[in-house]
Each structure stands twice: as C-alpha cells, then as structure tokens.
C-alpha cells in the first residue's frame, strides 16, 4: 500500500454481469459496500456516466454517520466503473477516485480495484481493511447460484 492509495484484487466465482450488477443496483450496492458494523443508505444513485450519487455509512453501534457522494466518470458494462468520492465532512477534504476493472476468467470474474486520493486523516490500512470486509460481503452476494422459484 502506498500513501493515500489502496489496490485490491479478487477472483469471484460469478460471471462479470452479476458482479457488475452488484455495483450498479442501488439495493445490492447498499447491502455489501459498507464494512462490517455499518449500514449504508443511498439517497441518490444515477448509475450512468456523468451521473451522481449520494450516500452515507451509519455506525450501527453508535448511530454516527458520515455522508459522501460523487460522480460516475466512466462506465463500460461488465468491464469498468470509475467514480469519485467526496466526503461532506470538511475534516476529510479532497476527492478520491476509485477504478473497478472486471475481467471474465475461466471460473468467473477477476476484479481489480484501485482507490486513490484517500484523505490523510484516514489511515490507509483501515481503508484497506474496510475494502477487505466489503469484498467478502460482495462474494457472499454474487457467488450463490439460486434457481428461480
């Protein structure tokens, strides 16, 4: 890990279309993106290039929340999502950019995530740990093969 940047890599046993849907569907996204112990509420999510989003993470134990939002910069269905994040808290200045690349592999989807511009006030290792937890939740969402009833 370098200062203000985290890089993650996973292989998920799910097709790229399903993994992409977990990022593009607001209900799905809210279910897996917050780290353990947090609840996500999405106020707005225009999943399209130049579309914006607004959400908050609420600490389940304390009720404290932090709100943030941003813009979708680039979207290639099933392949790429690039977006910005800006915290509403003035103590967390700047803009982060997150790039998510999805590639079809023999057993599912190879996922590469790079988040850059993490505010100095956030320890990079804590951000990395949060992503680890979120990706575990993503795996549990997209990997099960559930037949139509």
Query: In the chain, which stretches have pLDDT less than 70?
Result: 1-2
Q: Tell me, what's the pLDDT at 91?
A: 83
pTM: 0.93
For the segment 101-143, what is each residue's pLDDT rounded down to a tens digit? 999 999 999 999 999 999 988 899 999 999 999 999 999 999 9
The CATH architecture one would assign to domain 5-142 is: 2-Layer Sandwich (3.30)
On average, the pLDDT of the chain sits at: 95
Domain boundaries, the chain: 5-142
**Contacts made by residues 97-104, CB under 8 angstroms, sequence distance 24+:** 97/73, 100/23, 102/16, 102/19, 102/20, 102/78, 103/16, 103/79, 104/15, 104/16
Percent of the chain topping pLDDT 90: 89
The token duo for 30 is 């809210």
Nearest C-alpha neighbor of 81 from the set 134, 129, 139, 24: 24
Distance CA 39, CA 111 (A): 24
The token duo for 60 is 């389940």
Q: Tell me, what's the pLDDT at 149?
A: 72
Query: Read out DSSP for 102-126?
Result: EEEETTEEEEEEEEE---TTS-HHH
């Amino acid at each position: 890990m370098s200062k203000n940047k985290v890089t993650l890599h996973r292989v998920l046993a799910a097709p790229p279309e399903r993994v992409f849907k977990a990022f593009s569907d607001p209900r799905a996204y809210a279910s897996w993106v917050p780290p353990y112990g947090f609840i996500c509420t999405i106020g707005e999510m225009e999943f399209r290039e130049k579309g914006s989003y607004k959400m908050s993470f609420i600490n389940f134990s304390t009720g404290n929340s932090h709100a943030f939002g941003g813009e979708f910069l680039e979207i290639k269905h099933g392949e790429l999502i690039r977006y910005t994040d800006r915290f509403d808290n003035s103590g967390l200045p700047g803009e982060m950019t997150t790039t998510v690349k999805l590639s079809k592999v023999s057993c599912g989807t190879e996922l590469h995530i790079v988040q850059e511009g993490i505010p100095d006030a956030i320890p990079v290792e804590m951000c990395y740990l949060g992503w680890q937890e979120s990706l575990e939740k993503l795996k549990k969402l997209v990997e099960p093969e559930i037949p139509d009833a």
